[in-house]
Chains A and B, each alone.
Chain A
Amino acid sequence: DAKTTQPPSMDCAEGRAANLPCNHSTISGNEYVYWYRQIHSQGPQYIIHGLKNNETNEMASLIITEDRKSSTLILPHATLRDTAVYYCIVRVPMEYGNKLVFGAGTILRVKS
């Protein structure tokens, strides 16, 4: 069962920041939040992850609330190529390795 809740779709103007919200109110203390995106008919692509602190890399920023019950993925300057399904995922540790629990994701449409 997915441990995250995301809006089904969002629109964003090209060149503007895209802010994608995610709720994960049942997340446990040792579970990381990961973001992936999937362009149609391709395998998911890793974007960013975090535990408590805000994170930034060359693709995006991740803002996690202090209570860790929600987070926001920020694409600072969205382009048409950022149109994809964005998955907010909880990484659940298993006895060996980790499991990514996917929800339905948010369809982000970047429009010119």
Chain B
Amino acid sequence: SQTIHQWPATLVQPVGSPLSLECTVEGTSNPNLYWYRQAAGRGLQLLFYSVGIGQISSEVPQNLSASRPQDRQFILSSKKLLLSDSGFYLCAGGPGRAYEQYFGPGTRLTVT
């Protein structure tokens, strides 16, 4: 089965600083990869998804970007963080055995 690795687990960054969150996938090749954000007390919002190297689709306009330099690597970036970028960021990979998406442990980002 797939395993999704994310780091760091928590991150505190000042407004205006850059961001790079990395996600790697183990146990499968050519997965679909997804970045979600979860605001406090809310459900998950899909930010980006990728079906292959260099192929990125954005779901919502925002201050963030994503890249997929390798088959099992997905990166979420920002050049200048905003306060509104704070949240819990989750990387997911799929399809799994039942077409489910496997989620990583998440990164809690606080922009101060």
Contacts and interface: CB of A to CB of B under 8 A. Distances in A.
Interface residues of B, number: 30
Interface stretch (A14-22, A39-47, A71-79): A39-47
A106 to B, nearest CB: 11
B45 to A, nearest CB: 7
B99 A43 contact: no
A87 B43 contact: yes
A97 B103 contact: no
Interface in A66-87: 87
B100 to A, nearest CB: 4
A34 B44 CA distance: 14
Nearest to B32: A97
Nearest to A99: B46
B43 A98 contact: no
Nearest to A43: B103
B42 A104 contact: yes
Interface of B: 4, 32, 36, 41-46, 49, 51, 55, 57, 59, 88, 90, 92, 94-96, 98-106, 108
Given A87-B44, A104-B41, 6 more contacts: A43-B92, A43-B106, A49-B98, A94-B49, A102-B45, A104-B43
11 contacts: A34-B100, A41-B106, A94-B57, A96-B32, A97-B32, A97-B51, A98-B94, A98-B101, A99-B59, A100-B44, A102-B45
